[in-house]
Amino acid sequence: MAKGAKLTWYNVAICLLVVSGAFTYGFGLAVFTTSIGQPGFYLDFDLDPTSSYTYNILGAVNALTYFGCAFGAIIQGWTADHLGRKKALAASAFLALIGGAVSAGSVAIAMLIVFRLVQGVGLGMLICLVPLYTTEVAPAHHRGLLSSMTVVGFGSGYAT
């Protein structure tokens, strides 16, 4: 029986770095929930927490974020094939970073909606690219162990 590739600390380090994208996914989707629980959120955007208009705005923000995730998940295959795995991961991380940063600093509802959509595209790409890349760099006999770190990243992001 021939031996396959060995698990090295380099493989583990690469997987841990890439799994930070899974953490980003979990955190990026969970963080808005804590924002809408703060009274300052409603004051900054001049929203009445009891109005149907506010509920519609919050619904639009969340719906478009998840629409962005779906769109990102769809285009990630094409992006990864045409740009390569590393560049596709970098592009998705960039979109998630810019979307999250500008969303956090939003001064208008329209700005928040647009950049949560941008963040959603990046997060949707990450949800697919992280396990794809970790399974490709992991040796066959340790692929399950290393790719399962993706789930730990998601859970850690949600819990943070």
- pLDDT score recorded for residue 3: 62
Residue 1 binned pLDDT confidence (cut-offs 50, 70, 90):
very low
Q: What is the DSSP letter of 4?
A: -
Tell me the mean pLDDT in the region 73-93: 96
pLDDT at 2 over 50: no
Distance CA 101, CA 156 (A): 20
pLDDT at 77 over 80: yes
Nearest to 20 by CA among 145, 116, 133, 142: 133
H helices, E strands: number in the chain: 7, 0
Each residue's pLDDT tens digit, 22-56: 999 999 999 998 899 899 999 999 999 999 999 99
CATH class (in words) of the domain with range 15-159: mainly alpha
99 in Cβ contact with 121 (< 8 Å): yes
The pLDDT value recorded for residue 90 is 96
Residues written for the chain? 160
The tens digit of pLDDT for each residue in 3-21 reads 667 888 988 899 899 999 9
Query: How do residues 87-130 score in pLDDT, each as one tens digit?
Result: 999 999 999 999 999 999 999 999 999 999 999 999 999 999 99
Angle between helices 149-159 and 109-137 (to 10 degrees): 160
Helix axes 109-137, 52-83, angle to 10 degrees: 40
Question: And the tokens for 158?
Answer: 């949600």
Domain ranges in the chain are 15-159
